[in-house]
Amino acid sequence: MDRTDMRWHWPCRLSKGISLGYNKRRETASGNGDSMRTWLANLLAWTSSVKDEQDLVNGVQRVAWELDFEWFSFGVCTALPFSNPIMQMRCNFSSTWQRRYSDADFLLVDPSVQRARACTTPFLWQGELLRKMPQFWEEARAAGLRYGWACSRTNASRHQSMLTLARGSSTLDVAELNAKELKMRWLAETIAPVMERLLITPSHQAQHYRLTAREIEVLRWTADGKTQEEIAQILAISFDTVKFHVKNAVGKLGATNKTAAVVRAAVLGIIS
């Protein structure tokens, strides 16, 4: 990325009553499915009721704390424009680390972010990851970020989101991961659409373009390499009608030609 639109969220006061019912003793003692189903139901109820960024930040911080993580960050990166995607991030990291991260443009070299953008499999801050950019990790540890877990996902409109949970003491061992990672992954999954709704401007969302069913159909055939004459025959419509739909799709997508329109529509998941 050449540039990112980053606006850090400073540490905030928590609202009351956001607990999702996570009970460490009960989880350790039973690990039963009923407890997990209750927790997930509460999580889904909360994410569906989030009204603004503060609600989202408060809720993520509460869940992070219940899972024994003192720090969190989450963000979403737009699929378009290709040369200048927009990234929005929120976190509860210390103000000192936030300023240092921003001033040093660490987002462009952060090994955790690079790993998350390349693969959606959850991962820990360990091994080869820590051998990349040692100066970065040294400064992160000094800021209290020693042990972390991260997970990313790509949604239907091709925006990519990421959740990081971190703490300053106690490694994440296999037993703890077995007990908690399903909840961590569910948190990453359920807040992703909320992030897109609250942090991404409408002009970067697929539904903003409002292509008609016929415009989408014409673009799909174009993506398959069909000419406008062939598309007219396939759809049993006139050549001029095909041109009309292509022109409308190009305009709505802000593209310069039909090839660019097809690429944009594919990236946004409109014709996938």
Between 209 and 149, where is the model more confident? 149
Q: Of 4-8, 199-203, 221-225, which gets the smallest average pLDDT?
A: 4-8
As given in the structure block, the two tokens for residue 126 are: 């360990």
Q: What is the DSSP letter of 247?
A: H
Sheet containing strand 71-77, strands side by side: 87-91, 71-77, 160-167, 147-154, 123-124
CATH 3.30.450.80 in the chain is located at 24-203
**Residue 3: its pLDDT value, please?**
37
Q: Of 32-46, 81-95, 101-115, 258-272, which gets the smallest average pLDDT?
A: 258-272
Q: What is the mean pLDDT of residues 52-57?
A: 95
For residue 163, the Cα-to-chain-centroid distance in whole angstroms is 7
- Write the single-letter amino acid at 197: R
CATH 1.10.10.10 in the chain is located at 209-267
Strand segments (E) across 130-264: 147-154, 160-167
**Residue 270: its pLDDT value, please?**
83
Q: How many CB atoms lie within 10 A of CB 116?
A: 24
Instruction: Give the CATH number of domain 209-267.
Output: 1.10.10.10
Percent over 70 (pLDDT), the chain: 85
Instruction: Give the CATH number of domain 24-203.
Output: 3.30.450.80
pLDDT digit string (tens) for 222-265?
A: 999 999 999 999 999 999 999 999 999 998 888 888 988 888 88
For residue 178, the Cα-to-chain-centroid distance in whole angstroms is 23
Q: Which of 49, 48, 50, 53 minimizes the C-alpha distance to 8?
A: 53
Start-to-end C-alpha separation, the chain:
24
Q: How far apart are CA 146 and CA 139, in angstroms?
A: 10
Q: What is the mean pLDDT of residues 22-43?
A: 67
Q: What is the mean pLDDT of residues 184-208?
A: 82
